[in-house]
A and B are shown apart, each in its own frame.
Chain A
Amino acid sequence: MAIKKFAVACYDTEDTLFPAVDKVRHSGYKLHDVYTPFPVHGLDVAMGLKETDLHVAGFIFGLTGTSTAVGFMSWIFTSDWPINFGGKPNWSLPAFMPIVFELTVLFAAVGMVLTYCYLNQIMPGVKKHIFHPRQTDDYFVVVLELNEHSSEQEALAFLGTTGALETNIQIAEEGWWYGRWDEEETYELAK
């Protein structure tokens, strides 16, 4: 992926985070992302993020499970290997229901978790840049993306006016890569 320059600001309460995010959005700086240690309700709206469609994926996987179960059992009991159970109909839909239900839930859950991992780009062995070690502890970290025209001093001064506890400039890989978390990577901007 790409190595870029970022301006980082840390906050320790939601009361300063929300106005800061608002200010950044109206400032003309490009908001790279906001990192929080827990789900902060309303932050996605404040950042202007769209609502996720993950649950739609869950629904589609669920339907796949339902049709797999109904189709598979129907095919087996009516054409592949019909068995007479005490003279009952071969296609005994009510008796299929428990397995149809279980497979619906199984497909929906497994499919949705895999989709979730894919969308979030998370997997064992994946490494991403951590802007502040306390972003998974108690800090809310707002990251701006700088380009070659932006002044570092101006960006830091701007972040200072938003009530940030700490500000700094970092050069980092913006995406993910395979790596070990006990090893440090250092980057330089490509000229």
Chain B
Amino acid sequence: MHLKYESIVREPLVDGNKTYRQVTEDIISPIEKKPGKMWYIGFFISLILLGFGAFSVFWEVYFGIGVWGINRTVGWGWDITNFVWWVGIGHAGTLISAILLIFRQGWRTGVNRAAEAMTIFAVMCAGQFPIFHMGRVWDAMFVLPYPNTRGPLWPNFNSALLWDVFAISTYFTVSLLFWYSGLVPDFATIRDRAKTKFRKRAYGLASFGWTGTAKNWQRFESLSLVLAGLSTPLVLSVHTIVSFDFATSVIPGWHTTIFPPYFVAGAIFSGFAMVQTLLILVRKILSLEEYITLGHIEAMNKVIVLTGSIVGVAYLTELFMAWYSQVVYEQDAFNWRIIGPYWWSYWAMMTCNVVSPQLFWFKKLRRNIPFTFIMSIVVNIGMWFERFVIIVTSLYRDYLPGSWTYYSPTWPEVGFYIGTFGLFFTCFFLFAKYFPVVAVAEIKFVLKTSGDNYKRDMAKEDEKSLEEFVHENSHH
């Protein structure tokens, strides 16, 4: 027997009077009901967006990359902006599930499942952009090192762009494995309480025949811990390598050593914002307010204000280094970012990412749901502009004034971006309908230490003196 004790000073992670059975009921029953009208409307809109995206991509593949607004000077435009934006969003899930597991942050249990799902869908969206940016997309497998009839000619393993291929695909695979290994026991729960034949069969397949023996759970815990340990450096490496795409070049505005930590902080910043956007809606629609509590939302807002401030420091450091380096190209690049033709994007970035998140220093605002929801969208707009600023405003005035240009996207570029929203939300709607959006087994695991009804009993324990407490709990 072991002691289940956590001080009442800590906020409960699960509100209400919950038993194990009630936890199952609350989280699984939406899967067994017919979805509401809002679900159908949302899902249908997502499918339309996805369809429009597919058409835009078809247009680009059929007529070639020339239908996009990018040109010889601005070779990367909306496509790579969107790629970096989506990958960045994808960072929150693994951060929550891996890094917070290692730091023993109990509050991760309520939000990790949905955040990991978001990660996987965001990385799927991100991957589309570099693939279709290749132009001749049917040759996309050339980036893989397979024995081919062209030599065999291998890809350049010293190129940051190839590192990216490895980083993103590894990240996707490992996140998927981590996510699914946690889902298997929950699918078994759905299977064993299923009333319809089809559901029993489908979740029977999805649950891999899980029965929950003590040995299986022991291996499960070992697997989770090691996967968390592997994912922790992985999540930091992915955006580091994405930043290498820029930092290893010699373009003013890109060629800086600050990029890896600055990109990682920005990625976590935007990822948490997206988690907030989704979870505030999910907890309301699926009535999961007792599992995704105000405490969870506040904890994530704290991460947002921290990473937002790191990003702000990085912006200012960039400006300082441009001045301090006395390199005229670097100075001009930053000067034009601030007052050049793209000034609006720079100031949108500064306002949304640096200024507005500072409001989260106020506890009242951190715990205000409508405000958090608006802020989460503001942050993601800001982070989109950050990538746009880095990419476009470093490229549009290059070393030769004769090739200076002004870049604007065309409809297939915008349509492609809209299409990835379609893909993302189509996946997320299906996830919210057919998957347990909160990790059932993990909630049960923390219930007796962090559940509201169990914590009330801890008040008695808290009143005891230390000697009394030790005396009662150490005779083992």
Q: Which residues of A contact B (CB under 8 A)?
A: 12, 14-15, 18, 33-44, 47, 49, 51-52, 54-55, 58, 62, 72-73, 76-77, 80-81, 83, 85, 92, 95-96, 98-99, 101-103, 105-106, 108-110, 112-113, 116-117, 119-130, 133-138, 176, 180-182
Instruction: Give the docked Cα–Cα distance between A51 and B19 (Å).
Output: 30
Number of A-B residue pairs at CB separation under 8 A: 206
Chain B residues with CB below 8 A from A44, complex form: 214-215, 217-218
Which of A33, A98, A136, A182 sits near B201, CB closer than 8 Å? A182
Instruction: Give the docked Cα–Cα distance between A33 and B216 (Å).
Output: 11
Chain B residues with CB below 8 A from A130, complex form: 192, 211
The closest CB in chain A to the CB of B21 belongs to A138
Per-position binary interface string of chain B over residues 189-230, scored 1 when its CB falls under 8 Å from any chain A CB and 0 otherwise: 101110001101101111011111111111111110111001
Q: Are B19 and A126 in contact (CB under 8 A)?
A: no
| Chain B interface mostly | helix
For the complex of A and B, the 8 pairs showing the least CB-CB separation, nearest first, are: A181-B204, A126-B209, A138-B20, A122-B208, A38-B441, A39-B217, A98-B163, A182-B201
The closest CB in chain B to the CB of A35 belongs to B212
Q: Which residues of B contact A (CB under 8 A)?
A: 1-2, 19-21, 24, 145, 151-154, 156-158, 162-163, 166-167, 170, 173-174, 177-178, 181, 184-185, 188-189, 191-193, 197-198, 200-201, 203-206, 208-223, 225-227, 230-231, 233-234, 237, 241, 244, 440-442, 444-445, 448
Instruction: Give the docked Cα–Cα distance between A106 and B219 (Å).
Output: 19
Chain B residues with CB below 8 A from A120, complex form: 210, 215-216, 219
A49-B214, A109-B173 as given contacts; A85 in contact with B158, CB under 8 Å: yes
Question: A171 CB to closest chain B CB, in angstroms?
Answer: 17
A39-B445, A42-B1, A73-B157 as given contacts; A182 in contact with B200, CB under 8 Å: yes
Q: Are B212 and A109 in contact (CB under 8 A)?
A: no
Q: Are B214 and A43 in contact (CB under 8 A)?
A: yes
A182-B200, A182-B204 as given contacts; A108 in contact with B211, CB under 8 Å: no
21 CB contacts below 8 A, A to B, read: A14-B1, A33-B215, A36-B212, A36-B217, A38-B440, A38-B444, A44-B218, A55-B222, A76-B145, A77-B157, A80-B152, A96-B158, A102-B166, A105-B230, A109-B230, A113-B223, A116-B181, A122-B184, A134-B192, A138-B20, A182-B201
Question: B18 CB to closest chain A CB, in angstroms?
Answer: 11
Question: Known contacts A34-B214, A38-B441; can you find 16 more A-B pairs with CB under 8 A?
Answer: A35-B212, A38-B442, A39-B441, A43-B214, A80-B152, A81-B152, A96-B158, A102-B234, A109-B177, A120-B215, A122-B209, A123-B208, A133-B192, A136-B189, A138-B19, A182-B200
Chain B residues with CB below 8 A from A103, complex form: 166, 170
Chain B residues with CB below 8 A from A98, complex form: 163, 166-167, 237, 241, 244
Which of B206, B210, B226 sits near A112, CB closer than 8 Å? B226
